[in-house]
Amino acid sequence: MTRHDPLAALADDPAVDLAPLRARLATDADAAGLLDVAYRTLDTPVGALLLAATEHGLVRVAYAVEDHDVVLGTLAEQVSPRVLHAPARLDAVAREVDEYFAGRRSSFDVALDLRLASGFRRRVLDHLADIAYGSTASYAAVASLAGSPAAVRAVGTACARNPLPVVLPCHRVVRADGSLGQYVGGADAKQALLVLEGAA
Q: Which CATH number does the domain housing residue 149 bear?
A: 1.10.10.10
Q: Could you tell me the pTM of the whole model?
A: 0.83
Give the pLDDT confidence of 117-154 residue by residue, as tens digits: 999 999 999 999 899 999 999 999 999 998 899 889 99
Distance CA 61, CA 146 (A): 22
Distance CA 4, CA 6 (A): 6
In a domain, 112, yes or no: no
For the chain, give the mean pLDDT: 88
Query: Is 123 found in the same domain as 149?
Result: yes
Of the two residues 73 and 181, the one the predictor is more confident about is: 73
What are the contacts of 124-128 at 24+ separation with CB within 8 A?
124/154, 124/155, 124/158, 124/159, 125/158, 125/162, 125/164, 125/168, 128/159, 128/162, 128/168, 128/169, 128/170, 128/172, 128/173
The pLDDT, as a whole number, for residue 49 is 98
Q: Which of 42, 137, 170, 192 is catalytic?
A: 170
The pLDDT, as a whole number, for residue 129 is 87
In a domain, 158, yes or no: yes
In a domain, 38, yes or no: yes
In a domain, 154, yes or no: yes
In a domain, 2, yes or no: no
In a domain, 108, yes or no: no
Q: In terms of residue numbers, what domain contains 22?
A: 8-101
The pLDDT, as a whole number, for residue 10 is 57
Please check whether residue 30 is in contact with residue 89, taking contact to mean a CB–CB distance below 8 angstroms: yes
Please report which confidence band the pLDDT of residue 199 belongs to, taking 50, 70 and 90 as the band edges: confident
In a domain, 12, yes or no: yes
For residue 43, the surrounding DSSP H or E stretch is: strand 37-44
Query: Is 35 found in the same domain as 70?
Result: yes
Q: Examine the residue annotation and report whether 159 is marked as an active-site residue of this protein.
A: no
CATH code, domain with 90: 3.30.160
Query: Is 78 found in the same domain as 39?
Result: yes
The pLDDT, as a whole number, for residue 1 is 47
Rg of the chain on CA atoms, in Å:
18
In a domain, 33, yes or no: yes
Please report which confidence band the pLDDT of residue 4 belongs to, taking 50, 70 and 90 as the band edges: low
Q: Does 74 have pLDDT greater than 50?
A: yes
Q: How many folded domains does the chain comprise?
A: 2
The pLDDT, as a whole number, for residue 30 is 59
